Amino acid sequence: MSTTSKSTASRSTTGRVAAAVLAAAVGIPALAACGGGDSGNGASSKTVTLVTHDSFNVSPAVLKQFEKQSGYTVKLLPGGDAGAAVNQEILSRGNPRGDVFFGVDNTLLSRALDHDLFTPYEAKGLAGVDRKLQLDAAEHRVTPVDSGEICVNYDRKYFADKKLAPPKTFADLTEPRYKNLLVTENAATSSPGLAFLLGTAAEYGESGWQGYWKKLKANGVEVVDGWEQAYNDRFSGSAAGRKGDKPLVVSYASSPPAETMGVKPQPKQAPTGVATGTCFRQIEFAGLLNGAKNEKGGKALLDFLLTKRFQEDVPLRMFVNPALRDAKVPGIFTRYGAKIDDPATLAPQKIARHREQWVEQWSSLVLK
């Protein structure tokens, strides 16, 4: 779900997708930092610093429980969208800005691992996580925390008013009736944007995705830097303001339930929908940063991320699926969220081989 990232008063994703996964979508303010305790971060420090994308969102009571049980104070250090946050950590490799990084996803994982960002650690609770989410099971450099799907979302009211059927598939998006309606994120700077690019590569193959994007560009696709700008500024269906003029946006399959948070009475359906034939699976990970000053505190925090207390907070704070198999998912999440039975996927090895080349080719095709 990863990366990511994002915030107004009733929202929740990791946008971080989500995203995703989507804290900004309905306005729950993300925690920028939690102060208190020892302000240092040495070996004996009682502060543990979590570096993350802007969409990380946790209930204050959940975070306080960790602090009370562990004796550590958590300091959150947001670093933009997931792609930007990973880039910052690569630049500071060996002298990290914190102890734990959350928000690297399967689209960026090989890049982070190739740059040796993480120290191996097998978190407690990992046995309760589905093996298909454990993409680094041999070395445990990262711990899976959540998963979700990146998909095109649509503004139901716009399409109803226009008496126009919303798109369902990647191919639909290139049709003239959807000209100038789609906004997506930059694949070079945003994890949802990269996931959408990879989804088209999975759909059309190594030799076909470029031709698809030429058609998409000719059909007026708009590209912005990150999820926040795409969803909260440009998308017409976002509760964050509904000031945009694009009724189609690359976001999360779980964005619709975020749009119903705090709405009374609860609607029969969410104001936004999902084009289920445009989805790519995202898995978000956390890891102990190589060179962390508070390694002990970092390990304790990673353990906490796989407790039921934290995992059951994930769906309605970051609007992604918890990694733990036995974590309960709230009814609002399943009622309004889209169920994606067969999302597009690519093997991590294939992503690793082609990601940089594909992003360069995509940039040349779409941004110039």
pTM summary value? 0.77
Percent of the chain with pLDDT over 90: 70
> Do 174 and 316 contact (CB within 8 A), yes or no?
no
User: CA torsion sign, 202 to 208 to 209 to 215?
Assistant: negative
Q: Which residues contact 51 (CB under 8 A, 6 or more apart)?
A: 77, 79, 85, 89, 96, 97, 98, 100, 101, 102, 289
Cα–Cα distance, 274 to 279 (Å, whole number): 9
> Do 129 and 323 contact (CB within 8 A), yes or no?
yes
pLDDT at 156 > cutoff 90: yes
Mean pLDDT, the chain, integer: 87
Cα–Cα distance, 289 to 321 (Å, whole number): 24
Indicate the helix (H) or strand (E) that contains 365.
helix 348-366
Helix/strand/coil for 82:
helix
What is the pLDDT at residue 200?
Answer: 98
Mean pLDDT of 84-99: 91
Helix/strand/coil for 146:
strand
Cα–Cα distance, 134 to 272 (Å, whole number): 31
Burial 289-328 (b: 16+ CB within 10 A, else e): bbebbbbebbbbbbbbbbbeebbbbbbbbbbbbbbbeebe
pLDDT band at 241 (very low <50, low <70, confident <90, very high): low
Map out the domains of the chain with their CATH numbers. Answer: 17-148+281-336 (3.40.190.10), 149-280+345-366 (3.40.190.10)
Q: Among 29-33, 136-140, 242-246, whose mean pLDDT is lowest?
A: 29-33
pLDDT at 14 > cutoff 70: no
Helix/strand/coil for 326:
coil
Structure tokens at 189: 């700077």
Residue ranges in 36-94 assigned as alpha helix (H): 60-70, 82-91
What is the pLDDT at residue 141?
Answer: 98
Mean pLDDT of 90-112: 92
